[in-house]
């Protein structure tokens, strides 16, 4: 029996199972695609006897009484539904089952890493999480000796690998005009342990974070060819000639252009699309913020506002840039950020 379980661990630690992470060649895709649920499913499929054995050690007493008491200090027992005792007991059991699954994955991962040091998928992901959470290095080293995390040196190598990949991604993104540049300032407080008179009371460090965002929704390079025309007509252009420039459009001109973009069609209510939206918004405010009577009687009849031209919801792809030691809130800093991001 011992040999059987030992062989199961060796089989799980094989490279073909996809759980070998190289700290110097870790990619963002490996971290994004890692799911502990998938790992548990594969472990159960490849080593069912070992999985069942650990299940015997981590079994808990099922909750049969719907009126069980909840320990408020246990994070697994908070935020449970209170209005439905049966559903509360079911939700509690689901959380406990999920916790048992995590424990079994951790135990098997520790055994796999002990058998093959390169089989460290869970340890690598958990190590990156600890690094992102600013966990002290002594704690990380202690967890690494337990086999739950990779070492601080391995984490540093992984971060360098991810940084190289991000730098390459940003370079490729910057070579296409189909990206937008976004940045904003943030502050970090570095208070002194022992305050002294000579030291400035300002302990804030002002920096800038930014990134490149792909322009989605089918945007093409031809859609951006208007930038040259806009640059010719802007007063910010040093070669701008006010004598030959077209007159500045008024608010009425802009409204007329908007009406041309979405011409009004006949409607049974004889209201324009703007008036119909204002009508819906008024009813929505009554239902949401008015007396309870309106919400109870007409909440189900409110519906959604009429769509004129809906922009589909799509997940944006982006690449984070490194933080810049620039105070972006000032005019000089704001000007300095742009060339730094373009490098």
Per-residue b/e over 21-58, b at no fewer than 16 CB within 10 Å?
A: bebeebeeebbeebebeebbeebbeebeebbeebeeee
For the four alpha carbons of 80, 81, 83 and 85, in that order, the dihedral sign comes to negative
Closest CA to 124 of 33, 26, 32: 26
pLDDT at 174: 84
Whether the pLDDT of residue 318 is over 60: the answer is yes
Question: For the chain, which residues make up each domain, given as ranges?
Answer: 2-163, 188-305+325-343
- 176-216: per-residue pLDDT in tens? 888 888 888 888 887 766 666 655 566 788 888 888 899 88
* Cα→Cα distances 340→30, 151, 181, 215, 323, Å: 29, 33, 11, 21, 10
Confidence tier at 285 by pLDDT (50, 70, 90): very high
* Cα→Cα distances 26→31, 37, 128, Å: 8, 21, 11
Least confident of 34-48, 165-179, 254-268: 254-268
pLDDT at 64: 46
For helices 36-46 and 85-115, angle between their N-to-C axes, nearest 10 degrees: 70
The predicted model scores a pTM of 0.65
């Amino acid at each position: 029996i011992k040999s059987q379980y030992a062989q199961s661990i060796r089989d799980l630690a094989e490279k073909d199972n996809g759980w070998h992470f190289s700290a110097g060649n870790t990619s963002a895709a490996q971290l994004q695609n890692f799911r502990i649920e998938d790992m548990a499913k594969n472990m159960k499929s490849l080593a069912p006897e070992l999985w069942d054995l650990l299940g015997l050690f981590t079994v808990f007493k099922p909750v049969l009484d719907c009126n069980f008491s909840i320990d408020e200090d246990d994070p697994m027992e908070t935020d449970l539904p209170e209005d439905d005792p049966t559903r509360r007991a079911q939700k509690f059991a689901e959380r406990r089952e999920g916790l048992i699954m995590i424990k079994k994955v951790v135990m098997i991962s520790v055994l796999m890493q002990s058998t093959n040091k390169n089989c460290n998928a869970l340890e690598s992901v958990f190590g990156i999480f600890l690094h992102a959470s600013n966990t002290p290095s002594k704690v990380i080293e202690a967890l690494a000796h337990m086999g739950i995390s990779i070492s601080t040196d391995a984490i540093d190598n992984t971060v360098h690998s991810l940084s190289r990949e991000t730098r390459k991604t940003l370079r490729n993104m910057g070579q296409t005009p189909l990206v937008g540049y976004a940045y904003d300032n943030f502050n970090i407080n570095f208070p002194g342990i022992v305050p002294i008179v000579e030291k400035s009371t300002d302990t804030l460090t002002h920096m800038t974070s930014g990134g490149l965002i792909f322009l989605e929704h089918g945007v093409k390079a031809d859609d951006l060819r208007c930038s040259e025309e806009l640059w010719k007509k802007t007063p910010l252009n040093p070669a701008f000639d006010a004598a030959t420039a077209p007159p500045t459009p008024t608010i009425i001109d802009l409204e007329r252009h908007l009406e041309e973009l979405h011409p009004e069609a006949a409607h049974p209510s004889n209201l324009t699309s703007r008036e119909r939206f204002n009508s819906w918004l008024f009813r929505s405010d009554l239902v949401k913020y008015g007396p309870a009577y309106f919400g109870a009687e007409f909440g189900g009849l409110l519906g959604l506002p009429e769509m004129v031209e809906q922009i589909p919801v799509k997940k944006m792809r982006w690449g984070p840039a490194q933080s810049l030691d620039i105070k972006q809130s000032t005019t000089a800093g704001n000007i300095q950020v742009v060339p730094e991001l373009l490098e």
